[in-house]
Amino acid sequence: MNRPLHLVDDSAASGEPKPLPVLDYLQRQLAGTLRAGEETFLRYPTAISQLLKMRIVDIDEASATLEIDADAAIHGNQQGTVHGGLICELADAAFGTAHSTLMQEDESFTSIDLKATFLRPVWKSTLRARAWATHRGRTISHYQCDIARDDGKLVATVTCAVMTLRGAQAQGR
């Protein structure tokens, strides 16, 4: 379905506030300057980020830094260390947050590839994931994410390919 192109912002006339671009929304949220009623067209905070208690600590165009307090007593695997799936989820959240800053209202995106290289274990630490675009294409973009423990040591490097969806492909996603 094609929507008509509006060259003039008619949100004030309709009484509905226009959603903020994602980057503006997240920057205001992080700075504590987001006003009541200000929204963006994507879901923030995400349900999974709330469940796992992830925090955005830095945001810019095509880059994001997130943190999580990881503890093997809660997020552990059979070996008694923090599960690699949690580390991958943290990276995926950082990729998604970074890529969402590039989205327009009629766009969405999906991860199509993710590769993690684990470097050292985690038992209990605040993990910091810094993700940034290494290639920004019209449809396919590539990202890297470095995840470090609170002692500064690198835990994992993760790479990802993200596909931007437009029009009908983006509907309901």
Taking the domains of the chain in order of start, what are their residue ranges?
A: 15-170
CA distance 63 to 84: 22
CATH for the stretch 15-170:
3.10.129.10
Q: Could you tell me the CA-to-CA distances from 122 to 33, 53, 87, 132 in Å, in that order?
A: 35, 17, 10, 23
Q: Cα–Cα distance between 94 and 99 in angstroms, integer?
A: 9
Q: How far is CA 81 from the centre of its chain?
A: 25
User: Cβ–Cβ contacts within 10 Å for residue 154, how many?
Assistant: 12
The residues, ordered by sequence, that sit 6+ positions from 72 with a Cβ below 8 Å of its Cβ are 80, 81, 82, 122, 123, 124
Distance CA 150, CA 160 (A): 23
- The 8-class DSSP code of residue 169 comes to G
The answer to whether 31 and 95 have CB atoms below 8 angstroms apart is no
pLDDT in tens, the chain (173 residues): 333 333 334 444 556 778 999 999 999 999 999 999 999 999 998 999 999 999 999 999 999 999 999 999 999 999 999 999 999 999 999 999 999 999 999 999 999 999 999 999 999 999 999 999 999 999 999 999 999 999 999 999 999 999 999 987 877 76
